């Protein structure tokens, strides 16, 4: 799992961990999995103020994946009841979390 602080070091413009965003994710702008993530966010009715999509330039993709230790995009963080943004995986994991019992730990 990726610590949000590591992502924030690589992308200083990411929202503060203690902020208002329930979901923060990094990915390519034109990618089916980023689109799936945005679709899932839309299904649960989050406003633009409740999530943040950090677009990663394709030219930086390999470097970002290596730095963060992840093999693919998107990289999805959700706000847990603890108040921390927790890395859960990608779009498929977000779908699982939003559909299942694990949703109870999301703030």
Please give the pLDDT value at position 58. 96
Please give the pLDDT value at position 104. 56
Q: Residue 85, class by beta-carbon neighbours within 10 Å (0-12 exposed, 13-18 middle, 19+ buried)? A: buried
Low-confidence ranges of the chain (pLDDT < 50): none
pLDDT in tens, 29-54: 999 999 999 999 999 899 999 999 99
Please give the pLDDT value at position 105. 52
For the chain, what is the mean pLDDT?
Answer: 92
- Strands (E) in 1-107, as ranges, are 23-27, 51-55, 75-79, 85-89
Q: Domains of the chain (ranges plus CATH)?
A: 4-105 (3.40.30.10)
What's the rounded Cα separation, in Å, for the pair 7 and 64? 9
Please give the pLDDT value at position 82. 87
> Does residue 36 contact residue 96 with C-beta atoms inside 8 Å?
no
Please give the pLDDT value at position 81. 86
């Amino acid at each position: 799992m990726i610590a949000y602080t590591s992502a924030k070091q690589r992308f200083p413009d990411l929202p503060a961990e203690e902020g208002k965003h329930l979901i923060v994710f990094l990915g390519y702008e034109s990618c089916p999995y980023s689109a799936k993530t945005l679709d899932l966010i839309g299904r649960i009715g989050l406003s633009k103020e409740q999530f943040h999509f950090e677009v990663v330039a394709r030219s930086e993709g390999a470097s970002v994946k290596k730095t963060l230790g992840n093999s693919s995009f998107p990289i999805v963080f959700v706000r847990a009841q603890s108040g921390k943004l927790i890395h859960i995986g990608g779009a498929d994991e977000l779908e699982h979390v939003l559909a299942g019992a694990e949703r109870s730990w999301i703030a």
